Amino acid sequence: MPKLQHVIEAQQFTLPLLHELFQTADQMEKILERGGTLDYQNKIMASLFYAPSTRTRFSFESAMFRLGGKVISTEQAHLFSSVIGGETLEDTIRVVSNFCDVIVLRHTEVGAAKRASLVASVPVINAGDGKGGQHPTQALLDLYTIYKELGYIDGLKIAFVGDLEQGRTVRSLAYLLGKFERVMIYFIAPDFLQIREDIQDYLTRHNVWFTLESDLNKVVSEVDVIYVTRIEKERFGDKVEIYDETVRNYFIDGKLLSKMKPKSIIMHPLPRLNEISPEVDDDPRAVYFKQTKNGLLIRMALLTMLL
Ligand code: CP
């Protein structure tokens, strides 16, 4: 199997590579139980974030520390004097490549990670590029969570709920699910937040069954996974009543939970706003905080595979 060089988009992960990644993540869990390792103590990771993050940045940094490595970090790369002075992303990446062994990049522009990988002399990991771009490491940890919780991915029935038009985690996870057999995907959103045609075309090309639906109640008792995403108020401008109605229609509470299968799970990439009632948190089917723990394992695994 060719060595993993960069992590840019979900499509690049073949089934054998996913298998290797999940096995490595399982090993990382054992290493973590022992308190970590010093194997990567001569390695440096740069987290170069042009946009805010809590989970992705901290879990990558924690992952690198648990591997014994070192971290140089910023969440305000857009305020670098060189960037304000007009330096291109390509030049910044060429420079930062000299100071580290791997770059974790979050950027506001779709395609930024790909551009960075073309000029970097070290591996680049896409930690989220733009609205409507991709967030492949989130999708990998999501897929790992589904596998750990349910024990299968082939034959999975999953409902994506919320802002599917801009949600990059949904886009990346849809690309990954397209690699498995007999997966059924329900995209649940009002028309103006529905999944874009590029993902629909990809799934059609890969013979994945999917449907666009606006009513969550129609599928809640059918699916194995409800994957909820954030609905941002600013997307609605001054149409506050439409925002309120949308949030109400897709709200996950105890009543909805009672209609779900006993062995199903509820996921969310976090942060949540008003999508899931706190009363759901203690239900064993709510796995959104487990996702963050799995994120640490997947990111440790990715770093070891790249380094
Ligand atoms: N899930 C996720 O990407 O969260 P952050 O924006 O906090 O990294």
* Protein residue with its CA nearest to atom 5 in ligand 1: 53
CA 307 – CA 304 distance, rounded (Å): 5
Looking at this predicted complex, what is its ipTM? 0.98
* Protein residue with its CA nearest to atom 4 in ligand 1: 55
Q: Which of 47, 53, 62 for mutating ligand 1's site (highest number of atoms within 8 Å of CB)?
A: 53
Q: Which sequence spans correspond to the domains of the chain?
A: 6-135+293-306, 136-289
* Per-residue pLDDT tens digits for 101-142: 999 999 999 999 999 999 999 999 999 998 889 999 999 999
Q: How far is the CA of 135 from the centre of ligand 1 (A)?
A: 9
Confidence band of 86 (pLDDT split at 50, 70, 90): confident
* Per-residue pLDDT tens digits for 272-306: 988 999 999 999 999 999 999 999 999 999 999 99
Give mean pLDDT, residues 248-265.
96
| Ligand 1 atom at shortest distance from the alpha carbon of 295 | 1
Output the CA torsion 247→252→258→264 (10° steps). Answer: 130
| Ligand 1 atom at shortest distance from the alpha carbon of 269 | 1
Is pLDDT above 80 for 95? yes
Q: Which of 48, 56, 142, 275 for mutating ligand 1's site (highest number of atoms within 8 Å of CB)?
A: 56
Q: Show the ligand 1 pocket: residues with CB < 6 angstroms.
A: 53-56, 128, 135, 138, 269-270
Alpha helices in the chain (DSSP H): 15-33, 55-66, 81-84, 89-97, 112-119, 136-150, 168-177, 197-205, 240-249, 254-259, 288-306
- What Rg value do the Cα atoms of the chain yield, rounded? 19
Question: Superfamily assignment of 136-289 in CATH?
Answer: Aspartate/ornithine carbamoyltransferase (3.40.50.1370)
Token couple for 39: 């194997």
Query: What does pTM read for this prediction?
Result: 0.96
From the list 291, 261, 255, the residue with the least C-alpha distance to 276 is: 255
Is pLDDT above 80 for 163? yes
Give mean pLDDT, residues 63-89.
89
Is pLDDT above 90 for 84? no
Name beta bridge partners: 211.
186
| Ligand 1 atom at shortest distance from the alpha carbon of 54 | 7
Is pLDDT above 80 for 257? yes
Cα dihedral sign for 162, 163, 169, 174? Answer: positive
pLDDT at residue 275, as a whole number: 94
Per 3-state DSSP, the chain is made up of helix, strand and coil in percentages (nearest 5) of 45, 15, 40
Q: How many CA atoms lie within 13 A of 80 on its CB side?
A: 20
Q: How far is the CA of 207 from the centre of ligand 1 (A)?
A: 31
* Per-residue pLDDT tens digits for 11-35: 999 999 999 999 999 999 999 999 9
pLDDT at residue 131, as a whole number: 86
pLDDT at residue 55, as a whole number: 96
* Per-residue pLDDT tens digits for 171-209: 999 999 999 999 999 999 999 999 999 999 999 999 999
* Protein residue with its CA nearest to atom 1 in ligand 1: 269
Same fold, 6-135+293-306 and 136-289: yes
Q: Which of 48, 73, 142, 270 for mutating ligand 1's site (highest number of atoms within 8 Å of CB)?
A: 270
Q: How far is the CA of 127 from the centre of ligand 1 (A)?
A: 9
pLDDT at residue 236, as a whole number: 86
pLDDT at residue 233, as a whole number: 85
pLDDT at residue 237, as a whole number: 86
Q: How far is the CA of 140 from the centre of ligand 1 (A)?
A: 14
Give mean pLDDT, residues 168-172.
94
Is pLDDT above 90 for 79? no
Q: Which fold has domain 6-135+293-306?
A: Rossmann fold (3.40.50)
Q: How far is the CA of 221 from the centre of ligand 1 (A)?
A: 29
Give mean pLDDT, residues 149-155.
97
Q: What is the mean pLDDT of the chain?
A: 95
Alpha helices in 235-287 (DSSP H): 240-249, 254-259
* Protein residue with its CA nearest to atom 6 in ligand 1: 53
pLDDT at residue 176, as a whole number: 97
